Structure 1
Amino acid sequence: MDRSAEFRRWKAQCLSKVDLSRKGSVDEDVAEIVQLLNGREQFFTTSSCSGRIILLDESINGFEVKKQNCCWLLVTHKPCIKDDLMVALKNANGDAVLKFEPLVLHVQCRQLEDAQILHSVAIESGFRNSGITVGKRGKTMLAVRSTHGLEVPLSHRGKLMVTEDYIDFLLKIANQKMEENKKRIERFYNCLQQALERQTITKSHPKEKINKKNNSYSHKKKRNLEKAHGKCITEENDKERENDDDTVINATVFPEDY
């Protein structure tokens, strides 16, 4: 089985699986990007999160956080409301941590060239922590990530360790990051559309690209011939002056490509 056929089979298998994420569906703000990528033969998404503000109640054993014992007190993919956060904090028995996590998108790509196109789009859109991984049998994945996250502890063993004014301050920052994240997602979608359109045009009209190169070569060749012809005329005039009794010394400077 060739690589393209294998990729199509793998894509069909992955997209037919049940969504096992906590939410069970694709987030609204990233749905268009997921649909656009999955609609192209050279891509498919394996996981995504549009970005979220979460409050976790973490169990601590020494300095190690046991992630399996975390309790999700609050999660929202929209700007967070203070009243909702304060109600959630009352249910914290361990160490409550407020987090903002920006967009995460994992995309399997048919070949490295496809991943490089997406990587350029991600970087251009502001997701500068994105990276490409090439695994076994040439499987290529792009992870779209950003660095503008936030993680702040609020309580210890159920006791609130910060003031409400500080919580107001943190929520303002978290919500600003959420808005910036949404703008980057919109830029990513727009840039992705343009990049895929350019790719389609290039593949659909390869002869035009060749003709443009040939036309460019022809014009350059014509200019060089005209320059060379002008040089010959000048040299002939110089020879005529050398045979003239009233010789005039004339220095002509030509470009280096003569």
Structure 2
Amino acid sequence: MEVENTFKQWKKQCLNKIDFSKKGSVDEDITNIVSVLNDSEKYFTTSSCSGRIIVIDGVSDCLDVQKQNCSWLFVTHQKCQKTDLVTALERSCGDVIFKFEPFILHVQCRQLGDAQLLHSVAVESGFRNSGITVGKKGKIIMAVRSTHCLEVPLSRKGQVLVSSDYIEFLVEVANQKMIENLRRIERFFECLQSAMHHEDLHCTSSEAVKEKSVYKRRRKRTQDSPVEACQSSNDATLSDEDNGLQNGMDLFT
């Protein structure tokens, strides 16, 4: 109970915090995923990005660029065009890097079993670099990650290092990666819904069987004599222990 209350407190604090990301809100392509997880009693999201194509101006000697805070020359969570990169390069006098970063999601989980379920969903959806970490205070974090990234330098101290044809080629590659990224996000959402629905059905079925079993035992006790009722109660206790052992064995089959 204490662990559950602590998890609820962590969830409340996290979801009530101000979003300090550059965008300031959840990306449109993953709002459904974030909503499903945050509506669950077992999870809440701590950070997320649907995937993006960005042009970054690195270390620069150009004071105008630094003053204008233009280290991010271009960013989109959808496909990009060649003109986007060309315009970004024209605005830079530093070291420009072109990047594609796939979908990433960090989720805090109530129990390790919940994290393992989410990890299975992620791997099944193509995010095979996903993993689980457990902090010193018992925080269980499940990270959904992928490896199909892209990072290419475009200029050095304001001098463009690549041709126009190569820029066009990079745009095609990045856009293909974005398309695949969105496909994996869709698969993740479908697998997540299926897994959570199956888990809910399993819990409901277990509770129904338990309630039915208790009802039968109580009915039998009222019909038996005091001695028989006592014996029936002992048998029921043993039966519960056997069921517990059987359930425990099922975990390892």
Scaled to the shorter chain, the TM-score interval is 0.7 to 0.9
Query: Is the 2:107–2:142 Cα contact (8 Å) retained in structure 1?
Result: yes
Q: Secondary structure at the match of 1:137?
A: coil
Q: CA deviation at 1:76?
A: 0.3
Match of 1:24 in 2: 24
Query: Is the 1:54–1:75 Cα contact (8 Å) retained in structure 2?
Result: yes
Match of 1:133 in 2: 133
**When the two structures are aligned, how many residues end up with a matched partner?**
203
Residue 118 in 1 paired to residue 118 in 2? yes
Q: Structure 2: how far apart are the matches of 1:207 and 1:20?
A: 42
Cα-Cα RMSD: 1.7
More helix by share: 2
TM-score normalized with structure 1 length: 0.76
Q: Structure 2: how far apart are the matches of 1:60 and 1:4?
A: 49
TM-score normalized with structure 2 length: 0.77
Q: CA deviation at 1:98?
A: 0.3
- Unmatched segments (≥5 aa) in structure 1: 62-68, 211-258
Alignment of structure 1 residues 28-107 onto 2, 5 Å: 28-59=28-59, 71-107=71-107
Match of 1:187 in 2: 187
Q: Structure 1: how far apart are the matches of 2:183 and 2:5?
A: 36
Q: 1:164 to 1:209 in 2, by over 3 A?
A: farther
Q: Secondary structure at the match of 1:205?
A: helix
For residue 124 of structure 2, what is the amino acid of its counterpart? E
Q: CA deviation at 1:84?
A: 1.7
Query: Is the 2:43–2:109 Cα contact (8 Å) retained in structure 1?
Result: yes
- Unmatched segments (≥5 aa) in structure 2: 62-68, 211-253
Alignment of structure 1 residues 144-155 onto 2, 5 Å: 144-155=144-155
Q: Secondary structure at the match of 2:4?
A: helix
Match of 1:200 in 2: 200
Structure 1 segments of 4 or more deviating over 6 A? 207-210
Match of 1:164 in 2: 164
Residue 174 in 1 paired to residue 174 in 2? yes
1:59-84 CA distance string (max 9 Å, x none) = 179xxxxxxx9800000001001112
Q: Secondary structure at the match of 2:137?
A: helix
Rg larger in 1 or in 2? Answer: 1
Q: Structure 1: how far apart are the matches of 2:166 and 2:59?
A: 23
